[in-house]
Amino acid sequence: MEPLLRPKCFDADPNSPDATTRWNHWFRTFQTFLGTVESPKLNKLETLIHFVDAPVYVYIADCPDYESAISTLEKLYVRPKNIIYARHLLQTCKQDTSQDVDQFVQRLKSLAKNCDFKAVSAIDHENE
């Protein structure tokens, strides 16, 4: 067990604006940690419970197995993207006077991630 790969205790509030980002980051570090543990009798549910804070544990206390606990937490923390609002934010984004061009481009790329854009050929566009 690599101490550097141990995830921090997950204590995010599900109602906070950055809950999805915090969950995605924590869950990925937790999966990496589970991959480094070399125990044939590893109980993933108990390991998960060990790495969540008490307010988060309340949501998964009644889950019988690891998969249902993860499913419960994903339903709680991962919100669906509001594509219309994301596109509105991208359209109305203006460069601040203190931002240089590179910073503004990074901000636009960050906003575009939630817009669900996809490549469309001329034929596909014509058929729509």
Flag the least confident range among 1-10, 23-32, 64-73, 117-126: 1-10
In angstroms, the CA 56 to CA 14 distance is 9
The two three-digit tokens of residue 112, written as one number: 């575009």
**Rounded to a whole number, what is the distance in angstroms from the first to the last CA of the chain?**
54
Based on the domain organization, do 51 and 10 belong to the same domain? yes
User: What pLDDT is stored for residue 59 in this prediction?
Assistant: 95
Residue 88 and residue 62 share a domain: no
Q: Is 123 a domain residue?
A: no
Are 59 and 90 contained in the same domain?
Answer: no
Residues in the chain, overall count: 128
15 backbone dihedrals φ, ψ, rounded to 5°: -95, 0
Between the CA of residue 50 and those of 16, 34, 85, 106, 113, what are the distances in Å? Answer: 23, 12, 37, 37, 33
In a domain, 88, yes or no: yes
Q: Is 85 helix (H, G, I), strand (E, B) or coil?
A: helix
Domain count, the chain: 2
Cα 35–chain centre separation: 19
- Cβ count near 10 (within 10 Å): 21
17 located within any domain = yes
Condensed to tens digits (0 to 9), the pLDDT of residues 35-90 reads: 888 777 889 999 999 999 999 999 999 999 999 999 999 999 998 888 999 899 99
73 shares its domain with 13: yes
For the cut 60, the answer to whether the pLDDT of residue 92 exceeds it is yes
Instruction: Note down the domain range covering 91.
Output: 83-117
pLDDT of 101 strictly over 70: yes
pTM of the predicted protein model: 0.72
